Amino acid sequence: MLELQQLYKTYATGDTALRDVSFVVPRGQVMGLIGPSGAGKSTLIRCINRLVDPSAGRILLGDTDLAQVGRSELRRQRRRIGMIFQEYALVERLTVMENVLSGRLGYVPFWRSFTRRFPGRDIENAYRLLDRVGLLEHADKRADALSGGQRQRVGIARALAQEPALLLVDEPTASLDPKTSRQIMRLIIEVCDERDLPAIVNIHDVPLAQQFMHRIVGLRAGEVVFDGTPAALDEAVLGDIYGAEDWTAMRREHEEDQAAEADATRRVAEVAR
Protein backbone atom coordinates (compact mmCIF):
# COMPACT_ATOMS: atom_id res chain seq x y z
CA MET A 1 0.00 0.00 0.00
CA LEU A 2 1.22 3.48 -0.90
CA GLU A 3 0.11 6.60 0.89
CA LEU A 4 0.99 10.19 -0.03
CA GLN A 5 0.40 12.85 2.62
CA GLN A 6 0.46 16.54 1.73
CA LEU A 7 3.21 16.22 -0.85
CA TYR A 8 4.71 19.47 -2.16
CA LYS A 9 7.40 20.03 -4.74
CA THR A 10 8.86 23.42 -5.58
CA TYR A 11 11.79 23.48 -8.02
CA ALA A 12 14.86 25.65 -7.43
CA THR A 13 13.57 27.95 -10.17
CA GLY A 14 10.56 28.72 -7.95
CA ASP A 15 8.06 26.75 -10.05
CA THR A 16 5.61 24.83 -7.89
CA ALA A 17 5.08 21.44 -9.51
CA LEU A 18 3.02 19.77 -6.76
CA ARG A 19 0.71 21.33 -4.19
CA ASP A 20 -0.77 19.41 -1.28
CA VAL A 21 -1.12 16.05 -3.03
CA SER A 22 -2.57 13.28 -0.84
CA PHE A 23 -4.01 9.89 -1.78
CA VAL A 24 -3.83 6.20 -0.94
CA VAL A 25 -3.21 3.39 -3.44
CA PRO A 26 -4.24 0.02 -1.92
CA ARG A 27 -2.81 -3.36 -3.01
CA GLY A 28 -3.80 -4.48 -6.48
CA GLN A 29 -5.18 -1.13 -7.55
CA VAL A 30 -4.04 0.37 -10.85
CA MET A 31 -4.45 4.11 -10.58
CA GLY A 32 -4.33 6.34 -13.64
CA LEU A 33 -2.90 9.82 -13.23
CA ILE A 34 -4.28 12.14 -15.89
CA GLY A 35 -3.79 15.81 -16.62
CA PRO A 36 -2.39 18.15 -19.27
CA SER A 37 1.34 18.47 -19.98
CA GLY A 38 3.06 20.33 -17.17
CA ALA A 39 0.42 19.37 -14.58
CA GLY A 40 3.10 17.59 -12.51
CA LYS A 41 2.32 13.94 -13.36
CA SER A 42 5.93 13.10 -14.15
CA THR A 43 7.23 14.98 -11.11
CA LEU A 44 4.76 13.17 -8.87
CA ILE A 45 5.87 9.65 -9.76
CA ARG A 46 9.55 10.68 -9.72
CA CYS A 47 9.06 12.00 -6.19
CA ILE A 48 7.87 8.58 -5.07
CA ASN A 49 11.16 6.81 -5.94
CA ARG A 50 13.09 10.02 -5.25
CA LEU A 51 14.50 10.56 -8.72
CA VAL A 52 13.18 14.00 -7.76
CA ASP A 53 13.33 15.08 -4.11
CA PRO A 54 10.00 16.36 -2.76
CA SER A 55 9.99 19.67 -0.85
CA ALA A 56 7.56 18.60 1.89
CA GLY A 57 5.17 15.81 2.80
CA ARG A 58 5.27 12.09 3.49
CA ILE A 59 5.46 9.13 1.11
CA LEU A 60 4.58 5.95 2.97
CA LEU A 61 5.30 2.62 1.31
CA GLY A 62 4.38 0.09 4.01
CA ASP A 63 5.89 1.55 7.18
CA THR A 64 8.73 3.47 5.52
CA ASP A 65 8.59 7.19 4.79
CA LEU A 66 10.42 7.35 1.46
CA ALA A 67 10.73 11.14 1.72
CA GLN A 68 12.98 10.76 4.77
CA VAL A 69 15.30 7.82 3.96
CA GLY A 70 19.06 8.34 3.57
CA ARG A 71 21.19 7.29 0.61
CA SER A 72 21.85 3.65 1.32
CA GLU A 73 18.32 3.06 2.61
CA LEU A 74 17.01 4.79 -0.54
CA ARG A 75 18.86 2.22 -2.66
CA ARG A 76 17.22 -0.57 -0.67
CA GLN A 77 13.79 1.03 -1.03
CA ARG A 78 14.18 1.64 -4.78
CA ARG A 79 14.54 -2.13 -5.27
CA ARG A 80 10.91 -2.46 -4.16
CA ILE A 81 9.67 0.12 -6.69
CA GLY A 82 9.58 -0.91 -10.34
CA MET A 83 9.47 1.84 -12.94
CA ILE A 84 8.40 1.75 -16.58
CA PHE A 85 9.41 4.70 -18.75
CA GLN A 86 7.96 6.72 -21.57
CA GLU A 87 10.59 5.97 -24.19
CA TYR A 88 11.42 2.55 -22.68
CA ALA A 89 14.79 3.83 -21.32
CA LEU A 90 16.40 0.47 -22.02
CA VAL A 91 20.18 0.43 -22.23
CA GLU A 92 20.20 0.19 -26.01
CA ARG A 93 23.58 -1.48 -26.46
CA LEU A 94 23.01 -4.22 -23.88
CA THR A 95 21.17 -7.44 -24.66
CA VAL A 96 17.53 -8.00 -23.74
CA MET A 97 18.64 -10.41 -21.00
CA GLU A 98 21.10 -7.89 -19.51
CA ASN A 99 18.34 -5.30 -19.48
CA VAL A 100 15.97 -7.62 -17.63
CA LEU A 101 18.70 -8.69 -15.20
CA SER A 102 19.51 -5.04 -14.51
CA GLY A 103 16.30 -5.12 -12.47
CA ARG A 104 18.31 -7.24 -9.98
CA LEU A 105 21.18 -4.74 -9.58
CA GLY A 106 19.95 -3.60 -6.17
CA TYR A 107 20.06 -7.18 -4.89
CA VAL A 108 23.47 -8.44 -6.09
CA PRO A 109 27.01 -7.34 -5.18
CA PHE A 110 29.04 -5.38 -7.75
CA TRP A 111 31.33 -8.23 -8.78
CA ARG A 112 28.37 -10.43 -9.71
CA SER A 113 26.77 -7.73 -11.85
CA PHE A 114 30.14 -6.79 -13.41
CA THR A 115 30.95 -10.37 -14.44
CA ARG A 116 27.27 -10.91 -15.43
CA ARG A 117 27.15 -13.94 -13.11
CA PHE A 118 23.71 -13.51 -11.61
CA PRO A 119 22.27 -16.08 -9.16
CA GLY A 120 20.45 -18.99 -10.87
CA ARG A 121 17.16 -17.97 -9.28
CA ASP A 122 17.41 -14.48 -10.86
CA ILE A 123 18.21 -15.92 -14.28
CA GLU A 124 15.35 -18.42 -14.11
CA ASN A 125 12.99 -15.63 -13.07
CA ALA A 126 14.24 -13.40 -15.91
CA TYR A 127 13.53 -16.16 -18.46
CA ARG A 128 10.07 -16.66 -16.92
CA LEU A 129 9.32 -12.94 -17.22
CA LEU A 130 10.58 -12.81 -20.82
CA ASP A 131 8.28 -15.72 -21.61
CA ARG A 132 5.41 -13.92 -19.86
CA VAL A 133 5.86 -10.83 -22.07
CA GLY A 134 6.35 -13.02 -25.16
CA LEU A 135 10.02 -12.31 -25.88
CA LEU A 136 11.73 -15.54 -24.80
CA GLU A 137 13.40 -16.13 -28.17
CA HIS A 138 14.75 -12.54 -28.22
CA ALA A 139 16.73 -12.89 -24.96
CA ASP A 140 20.17 -12.59 -26.57
CA LYS A 141 19.34 -9.85 -29.07
CA ARG A 142 20.53 -6.34 -28.45
CA ALA A 143 17.78 -4.05 -27.16
CA ASP A 144 18.14 -1.66 -30.10
CA ALA A 145 17.24 -4.48 -32.49
CA LEU A 146 13.65 -4.62 -31.15
CA SER A 147 10.53 -2.71 -32.18
CA GLY A 148 8.91 -0.08 -29.91
CA GLY A 149 6.27 -2.42 -28.51
CA GLN A 150 8.85 -5.15 -27.87
CA ARG A 151 11.17 -2.69 -26.11
CA GLN A 152 8.37 -1.62 -23.80
CA ARG A 153 7.75 -5.30 -22.99
CA VAL A 154 11.41 -5.58 -22.00
CA GLY A 155 10.89 -2.47 -19.85
CA ILE A 156 7.98 -4.21 -18.12
CA ALA A 157 10.04 -7.36 -17.58
CA ARG A 158 12.89 -5.29 -16.10
CA ALA A 159 10.52 -3.60 -13.63
CA LEU A 160 8.99 -6.95 -12.63
CA ALA A 161 12.45 -8.53 -12.19
CA GLN A 162 12.81 -6.25 -9.17
CA GLU A 163 9.92 -8.17 -7.54
CA PRO A 164 8.48 -4.78 -6.68
CA ALA A 165 5.90 -3.81 -4.08
CA LEU A 166 4.84 -0.88 -6.23
CA LEU A 167 4.91 -0.12 -9.95
CA LEU A 168 5.41 3.42 -11.31
CA VAL A 169 4.53 3.78 -14.96
CA ASP A 170 5.37 7.00 -16.83
CA GLU A 171 3.42 7.47 -20.09
CA PRO A 172 4.00 3.85 -21.18
CA THR A 173 2.31 4.26 -24.55
CA ALA A 174 3.35 7.78 -25.56
CA SER A 175 5.57 6.64 -28.42
CA LEU A 176 3.50 3.65 -29.56
CA ASP A 177 0.73 3.27 -32.15
CA PRO A 178 -2.86 2.90 -30.89
CA LYS A 179 -3.04 -0.86 -31.26
CA THR A 180 0.30 -1.55 -29.58
CA SER A 181 -0.67 0.96 -26.87
CA ARG A 182 -3.71 -1.11 -25.98
CA GLN A 183 -1.68 -4.34 -25.94
CA ILE A 184 0.91 -2.80 -23.62
CA MET A 185 -1.80 -1.35 -21.36
CA ARG A 186 -3.54 -4.73 -21.18
CA LEU A 187 -0.24 -6.40 -20.30
CA ILE A 188 0.46 -3.92 -17.51
CA ILE A 189 -3.03 -4.46 -16.03
CA GLU A 190 -2.64 -8.24 -16.25
CA VAL A 191 0.75 -8.40 -14.53
CA CYS A 192 -0.53 -6.11 -11.75
CA ASP A 193 -3.57 -8.35 -11.25
CA GLU A 194 -1.40 -11.50 -11.20
CA ARG A 195 0.83 -10.04 -8.48
CA ASP A 196 -1.78 -8.00 -6.59
CA LEU A 197 0.53 -5.07 -7.30
CA PRO A 198 -0.45 -1.43 -6.76
CA ALA A 199 0.50 0.82 -9.68
CA ILE A 200 0.41 4.48 -10.63
CA VAL A 201 0.17 5.05 -14.37
CA ASN A 202 0.81 8.49 -15.85
CA ILE A 203 -1.28 8.70 -18.93
CA HIS A 204 -2.35 11.61 -21.08
CA ASP A 205 -4.67 9.50 -23.24
CA VAL A 206 -7.98 9.79 -21.33
CA PRO A 207 -10.03 7.23 -23.29
CA LEU A 208 -7.24 4.68 -22.82
CA ALA A 209 -7.22 5.48 -19.09
CA GLN A 210 -11.01 5.08 -18.86
CA GLN A 211 -10.80 1.75 -20.64
CA PHE A 212 -8.13 0.21 -18.41
CA MET A 213 -7.68 1.96 -15.05
CA HIS A 214 -9.37 0.92 -11.80
CA ARG A 215 -9.32 4.47 -10.51
CA ILE A 216 -8.39 7.86 -11.86
CA VAL A 217 -6.78 10.89 -10.25
CA GLY A 218 -6.84 14.14 -12.21
CA LEU A 219 -4.05 16.63 -11.75
CA ARG A 220 -4.16 20.27 -12.80
CA ALA A 221 -1.30 22.67 -12.11
CA GLY A 222 0.07 20.38 -9.40
CA GLU A 223 -3.19 19.93 -7.51
CA VAL A 224 -5.57 16.97 -7.33
CA VAL A 225 -8.85 18.11 -8.90
CA PHE A 226 -10.48 14.70 -9.36
CA ASP A 227 -10.25 11.34 -7.58
CA GLY A 228 -12.75 8.64 -8.45
CA THR A 229 -13.78 5.77 -10.71
CA PRO A 230 -13.36 5.98 -14.51
CA ALA A 231 -17.17 6.03 -14.80
CA ALA A 232 -17.38 9.17 -12.69
CA LEU A 233 -15.13 10.96 -15.12
CA ASP A 234 -17.70 12.95 -17.10
CA GLU A 235 -17.47 15.80 -19.56
CA ALA A 236 -17.67 18.45 -16.85
CA VAL A 237 -14.76 16.98 -14.87
CA LEU A 238 -12.59 16.52 -17.97
CA GLY A 239 -13.36 20.03 -19.10
CA ASP A 240 -12.22 21.14 -15.67
CA ILE A 241 -8.94 19.20 -15.89
CA TYR A 242 -7.98 19.89 -19.49
CA GLY A 243 -10.00 22.94 -20.51
CA ALA A 244 -13.14 22.27 -22.56
CA GLU A 245 -11.68 22.78 -26.05
CA ASP A 246 -8.68 20.51 -25.63
CA TRP A 247 -10.79 17.73 -24.25
CA THR A 248 -13.23 17.70 -27.18
CA ALA A 249 -10.34 17.58 -29.65
CA MET A 250 -8.70 14.73 -27.75
CA ARG A 251 -11.88 12.63 -27.74
CA ARG A 252 -12.41 13.13 -31.48
CA GLU A 253 -8.86 11.96 -32.15
CA HIS A 254 -9.45 8.83 -30.11
CA GLU A 255 -12.64 7.99 -32.02
CA GLU A 256 -10.77 8.37 -35.30
CA ASP A 257 -8.03 6.04 -34.03
CA GLN A 258 -10.56 3.41 -33.04
CA ALA A 259 -12.41 3.68 -36.35
CA ALA A 260 -9.14 3.33 -38.27
CA GLU A 261 -8.15 0.31 -36.22
CA ALA A 262 -11.53 -1.39 -36.67
CA ASP A 263 -11.29 -0.69 -40.39
CA ALA A 264 -7.81 -2.22 -40.58
CA THR A 265 -8.94 -5.33 -38.68
CA ARG A 266 -11.91 -5.74 -41.01
CA ARG A 267 -9.71 -5.48 -44.10
CA VAL A 268 -7.19 -7.98 -42.78
CA ALA A 269 -10.07 -10.37 -42.05
CA GLU A 270 -11.37 -9.94 -45.62
CA VAL A 271 -7.95 -10.63 -47.11
CA ALA A 272 -7.55 -13.72 -44.92
CA ARG A 273 -10.94 -14.99 -46.11
Q: In the complex, which residues of this chain contact other proteins (CB under 8 A)?
A: 49, 51, 75-79, 81, 83, 85, 87, 89-94, 98, 102-107, 110, 113-114, 158, 162, 244-245
CB of 95 to other proteins, least distance (A): 10
CB of 92 to other proteins, least distance (A): 7
Q: What is the 3-state secondary structure (H, E, C) of the chain?
A: CEEEEEEEEECCCCCEEEEEEEEEECCCCEEEEECCCCCCHHHHHHHHCCCCCCCEEEEEECCEECCCCCHHHHHHHHCCEEEECCCCCCCCCCEHHHHHHHHHCCCCCHHHHHCCCCCHHHHHHHHHHHHHCCCHHHCCCEHHHCCHHHHHHHHHHHHHHCCCCEEEEECCCCCCCHHHHHHHHHHHHHHHHHHCCCEEEECCCHHHHHHHCCEEEEEECCEEEEEECHHHCCHHHHHHHHCHHHHHHHHHHHHHHHHHHHHHHHHHHHHHC
Q: 57 vs 164, which CB is nearer to other proteins?
A: 164
Q: 41 vs 182, which CB is nearer to other proteins?
A: 41
Q: 228 vs 243, which CB is nearer to other proteins?
A: 243
Q: 114 vs 269, which CB is nearer to other proteins?
A: 114
CB of 152 to other proteins, least distance (A): 12
CB of 250 to other proteins, least distance (A): 15
Q: 102 vs 125, which CB is nearer to other proteins?
A: 102
CB of 165 to other proteins, least distance (A): 12
CB of 125 to other proteins, least distance (A): 14
Q: 100 vs 233, which CB is nearer to other proteins?
A: 100
Whether the CB-CB separation of 8 and 20 falls below 8 Å is answered with: yes
